[in-house]
Amino acid sequence: MPTSKIAGIGCYIPENKVTNEDLKQYMETTDEWIQERTGIRERHYAHRTKETTTTMAVEASKIAIERAGITALDIDFIVFATLSPDYYFPGCGVLVQRALQMKEIGALDIRNQCSGFVYALSVADQFIKTGMYKNILVIGSEKHSFGLDFSTRGRNVSVLFGDGAGAVVLQATEKEGQGIISTHLHSDGQSAELLAMYNPGTHANHWVKEPVADYTDAAIGEMFMSEQMIDKAQNFPFMDGPAVFKKAIVKFPEVIMEALTKNRLTTADITILIPHQANLRISQFVQQKLALRNDQVFNNIQHYGNTTAASIPIALCEAWQQGKIKEGDLVCMAAFGSGFTWASALVRW
């Protein structure tokens, strides 16, 4: 059976750089406060009207496709991971297919937030292994900046996130020992509301409160966005930071060790760990927990913030461009996020 190799990789970062100092114009915060809690110094925001989750994905995809030595017409399937699609529906996958003038191929959208790219990689891997597809475009792209609360009230969430996109082309390989070795996916919805966007549109959230029992005019009125909901910031993402942190520092190392144990490997075998860039403190905790050297862990959250589904492919691309990933290296990717979901993937480059 063939394995799946990453044949090409690309990323796109918007030009607009927003530093911690810049955020002081909108909220009560300091560079020291943000760096101490997150490690973030700056992030990039897409142009408000000219750039979207899809347009950034297209730019990253063009680079990945070129580096794979193929054309857009050679792609036979798309897997697109994002929590910030251009439209509630249709998904971004078909928009990429249109923008790159591809054949009438299948396009699948993945909604697993921070774990989205690893989930997408796992799905694509299965299609390659079965021989169903030969060239799969796997994308992680996010435009968070349009939906954040840039006030002191929302600073605990808003200072974390940035925009960007990353993409890889997955191909089959018969080369022994190369490609995706294994992927490991998990979820636990018991604490889903601790990191969520309750009201993505104009409807109220019925998982948080009791659903309306009838459809009288008054009841129907409760189902739509009210001034009170806006006043309480219920139209913005919510995160219980300490609770998410406590869960992440358990599941992150756990899912990494699951991948290593499955394949009879140890942390010493890891050439480089590409963690989801959620918080530098989480990455540092995981590094310490697993006794990894500094050169075994790649972090770039300092420059881009948390780009959720895009963070791993952006970091993977940068690590490769910097010569930190070479043929034969063992690369581990791991993520934890909303859902809760968490995942890992081991790849022999």
- Chain center to CA of 284: 19
Question: For 116-121, what is the mean pLDDT?
Answer: 98
114 annotated active-site = yes
Say which range, 73-77, 195-199, 244-248, 342-346, has the weakest mean pLDDT: 195-199
Catalytic residue among 199, 276, 279, 299: 276
315 has a pLDDT exceeding 70 = yes
The whole-chain average pLDDT of the chain stands at 90
Question: For 169-188, what is the mean pLDDT?
Answer: 93
Sign of CA pseudo-dihedral 198, 187, 270, 285: positive
Catalytic residue among 135, 279, 300, 306: 306
317 annotated active-site = no
Structural domains of the chain, ranges and CATH numbers in brackets: 3-173 (3.40.47.10), 179-192+239-348 (3.40.47.10), 201-235 (no CATH)
Question: For 132-155, what is the mean pLDDT?
Answer: 93
Q: What beta strand segments (E) does the chain contain?
A: 3-12, 16-19, 42-45, 77-81, 106-110, 135-142, 164-173, 179-187, 195-196, 238-239, 272-275, 330-337, 341-348
201 has a pLDDT exceeding 70 = no
Percent of the chain past pLDDT 90, that is, above it, reads 76
332 annotated active-site = no
pLDDT at residue number 229: 55
Question: For 108-128, what is the mean pLDDT?
Answer: 96
Catalytic residue among 44, 92, 112, 114: 114
- Compute the distance between CA of residue 24 and CA of residue 302 in angstroms, rounded to an integer: 17
Pick the more confident residue, 315 or 217.
315
